[in-house]
Amino acid sequence: MIAWTPFLEPLNAMQSVWYLLLIPMAFGIAVVYRALREPSYNTYWRAVVIMTLQVVFGIAAIAIALGVFVQWVIPLLNQP
């Protein structure tokens, strides 16, 4: 049996719940980024929450746009 290779054979176990992992990932990125870029600690947590929401809503909007494109726009390209 050949070993699993992450980039050549994606693991499908978390495919149905990827959106649940989006929130902690976005929060972690926002915490680190804002820790490096925020000039004052007074507004740190507010900036982290705002950036987390921006990332989550941005990725959700991209997912919706791609879904619309795949479901409705691509089938129209096949018509004569």
pLDDT at 66: 95
pLDDT at 1: 58
Read off the pLDDT of residues 51-79 as tens digits, 9 standing for 90 and up.
999 999 999 999 999 999 999 999 888 88
Please count the other Cβ atoms lying within 10 Å of the Cβ belonging to residue 49: 13
Distances in Å between the Cα of 69 and the Cα atoms of 17, 66, 73, 77 are 22, 5, 5, 11
User: For residue 76, what are its two tokens?
Assistant: 């129209």
Sequence spans of domains, the chain: 22-77
Read off the pLDDT of residues 5-36 as tens digits, 9 standing for 90 and up.
777 777 777 778 877 889 999 999 999 999 99
